[in-house]
Homo-oligomer: A and B are copies of this chain.
Amino acid sequence: MQTIEQHITTKGIRVTAMRLLIYKFLAERSNAVTLSDIEKAFDKVDRTTLYRTIKTFEDKGIVHQINEGSTGTKYALCKTNCKCELETDLHLHFHCNNCEETICLTDYKIPKVEVPDGFIAENANLVLKGICNKCS
């Protein structure tokens, strides 16, 4: 079991107080969050820092982004050994139209889909919308 510090370090970025805070915030919840969710949680932190921290995390494969239709991108932690690869790692997301939460269903992978000749798929984003288990 890696510590968060070790995990961040092995991804090739420095450990800072801010990054640990943001990481822990994300780790505490199973739902994807927007930048402003994080901003509200720590009212001392500058928006820009959050923005850049999340961007760094994304570049280094620590978080992934989800677009589910409501305005604003959401983010969630990747699993420890996720490489965000199409065939193996990409899971589906569920957006509840009632509570508006977006949940990572990490155990539900995106099925293999056919694409027309000439198209090369490298990445995928599948969001199901409906009613989640808490709201149904």
Contacts and interface: CB of A to CB of B under 8 A. Distances in A.
Interface residues of A, number: 36
A97 interface: yes
A69 interface: yes
Interface stretch (A2-10, A34-42, A125-133): A125-133
Contacts of A67: 67-69, 125, 127
A122 B130 contact: yes
Contact of A69 (B94, B113, B125, B129): B125
A20 to B, nearest CB: 27
B125 A126 contact: yes
Contact of A97 (B92, B111, B122, B128): B122
Interface in A20-65: 65
A12 interface: no
Nearest to A122: B130
Contacts of A92: 113, 115
Contacts of A122: 97, 129-131
Nearest to A67: B67
A125 B123 contact: no
Shortest Cβ-Cβ A-B pairs, 8 listed:
A118-B133, A67-B67, A122-B130, A123-B129, A121-B128, A121-B130, A111-B111, A120-B131
